[in-house]
Structure 1
Amino acid sequence: MEKVQKDIFTQRKKMMICLLLFILILYSLSAMGINFDLLTSLPSIPAGFGWLFTNFIPTEESVSYLPMIVSRLIQTILMSITATATAAVFALFMAIFGSRETGIHPVVKALAHIVASFFRNMPIVVWAMILLISFKQSEFTGYLAIFFSTFGYLTRSFMETIDEVAGSTIEALTATGASFFQIVFQGVLPMVGSQLISWVLFLIENNIRDATLVGILTGTGIGFLFDLYYKKFEYDITGMIILTIIVVVIGLELFSNTVRRIII
């Protein structure tokens, strides 16, 4: 027994060494490809953070911009919630028809997985840049970018949740002669409802952070203010914007985590 444990420990140690060597080789090749020298860059880090904390500290003047900043931030939050809620509705129906447990046809299941993978694997910034061509800089462009990205993520997450949780419920209801809609709306959704709500809350929280970046591209919300004052070199106001975003995001995260703990 002792020999077996020793062999297992030795094997894991070798695997860890191999993994570290692989990471080191991968880093070295990548750094050589872009001519990046970590040792040369390290001394500039303290100076960079020193400049950051010196110039981005909010001043008394920047505090006067707080009402405008909060107004823009509320606009960003509401847009994120709207896009996420809309995407969740479409994702739910797509997940029901694409799940291996509730799906109605193999072709429909395959198409649902392909659509979900496509929308999920397209970064939200790419969506924003693509949509800018057709819809220009507007709130609707930001809404669509968040919607498409969230739709793909939630569809895949909803399908996996239904597949993992609802199998036994579906079998029991099928045995009693329940119809498809009875199985879905009276069996599956009540069973997985708390997990689905948890996913929606997580995406709302995540999308509020992403909406800041999207706003820089689409010229809307809090991202527009950040880009405007940063380009005007008014770093104290930019720092006030960053501080406000951090406070709101942390507050929303704490609220979201509390709600998820209650419902799960």
Structure 2
Amino acid sequence: MSGAEAARRAFAPNWQGRAALAALAIYSVYAASQLDIGLERIWHGFSEAGAFLGRMVPPNFTRWQLLLDGMLESLQIAFISSAVGIVLSLPIALLAARNLMPWWVSAPARAFIGFCRSLHYVIVAILFVKAIGFGVLAGICALVVASIGFISKLFAEAIEEISPKQVEAVRATGAGFAAVLLYGVLPQVASRFVGFCIYQIDSNLRNSTMVGIVGAGGIGGTLFAAFKRFDYDFVAAILLVIIALIFAAELVATRVRAALR
């Protein structure tokens, strides 16, 4: 084979990929036309956004006590839901791990994890608000379900990626199932588990500010009430506090991850 022929074969055009990209572009244009998305509407939205942002300046922190109460409530929702979700996720993940359990155990566990992941946490919060009423309990339950869906999946995948040699070595000593988990499985995944847990706490801090919008407690309820009153300077204060909280949580999470390495 000559050099020119090899070059032509190495850089042969991918007509299937190009056709897929062209089809995606055509469908995007069609979908935009069906959804009434146009430059005129976008430009009008930017002008309205400018007026809206102008009403948010300067932020109003005079009702700091109401703001503080809402933020503390969101923090409590985040930490309680994370703790409960993580504790429940570990046994579910063990049941879902296909290298530890038979298929008739792992399949239902994976189906349950998929069910928890199938609905957005805001939709789950609405369901709990309708079921048990307004307040923080609905928000905690919604974020527990979201935590189980996310953490259990990551835990199960981490367990399935472990080396079987250590597990077999522990089994060779005649150890029971609990000892195999304690000495053969958990040492291999402990650091990853900690990282997943830190990420979930960070995620629930953000999510706890959203569930309040549907009546599940937290700063989201305060934010939604301020929007309904057209109290946009107070809205700006709430948003700034939420952003500061998320940045602080990210810094703490980064320090913890670095300390565990």
Q: Is the aligned partner of 1:183 residue 2:180?
A: yes
Secondary structure in structure 1 of the residue aligned to 2:230: coil
Read off the aligned partner of 2:67 and give its amino acid letter.
I
Match of 1:95 in 2: 93
Q: Deviations over 1:35-84 (max 9, x none)?
A: x233222322431331233122234xx12223431331122012111111
Deviation at 1:101, TM superposition (A): 2.0
Match of 2:33 in 1: 32
Instruction: Tell me which of 148, 152, 156 is aligned to 1:151.
Output: 148
Q: Deviations over 1:194-213 (max 9, x none)?
A: 11111111111111211222
Match of 2:234 in 1: 237
Runs of 4+ that moved beyond 6 A: none
Residues in 2 aligned to 1:38 and 1:261: alpha-carbon distance in whole angstroms: 46
Read off the aligned partner of 2:99 and give its amino acid letter.
E
Residues in 2 aligned to 1:44 and 1:167: alpha-carbon distance in whole angstroms: 60
Match of 1:44 in 2: 44
Read off the aligned partner of 1:129 and give its amino acid letter.
I
TM-score by length of 2: 0.90
Q: Is the aligned partner of 1:65 residue 2:67?
A: no
Match of 1:20 in 2: 21
Q: Deviations over 1:115-157 (max 9, x none)?
A: 0011011110111111122111111111101111111111111
Residues in 2 aligned to 1:172 and 1:55: alpha-carbon distance in whole angstroms: 67
Q: Is the aligned partner of 1:136 residue 2:133?
A: yes
Stretches of structure 2 lacking an aligned partner (at least 5 in a row): none
Deviation at 1:6, TM superposition (A): 4.5
Within-5 A mapping of 1:217-236:
217-236=214-233
- Number of corresponding residues: 259
Residue 135 and residue 166 in structure 1: after superposition, are their counterparts in 2 closer, same or farther (change >3 A)? Answer: farther
TM-score by length of 1: 0.89
Match of 1:75 in 2: 73
Question: Among the aligned pairs, what percent are the same residue?
Answer: 24
The answer to whether the 8 Å contact 1:87/1:151 transfers is yes
Read off the aligned partner of 1:7 and give its amino acid letter.
R
The answer to whether the 8 Å contact 1:102/1:184 transfers is no
Residue 195 and residue 5 in structure 1: after superposition, are their counterparts in 2 closer, same or farther (change >3 A)? Answer: farther
Stretches of structure 1 lacking an aligned partner (at least 5 in a row): none
The answer to whether the 8 Å contact 1:212/1:221 transfers is yes
Residue 168 and residue 2 in structure 1: after superposition, are their counterparts in 2 closer, same or farther (change >3 A)? Answer: farther
The answer to whether the 8 Å contact 1:128/1:217 transfers is yes
Which shifted more, 128-137 or 240-249? 128-137
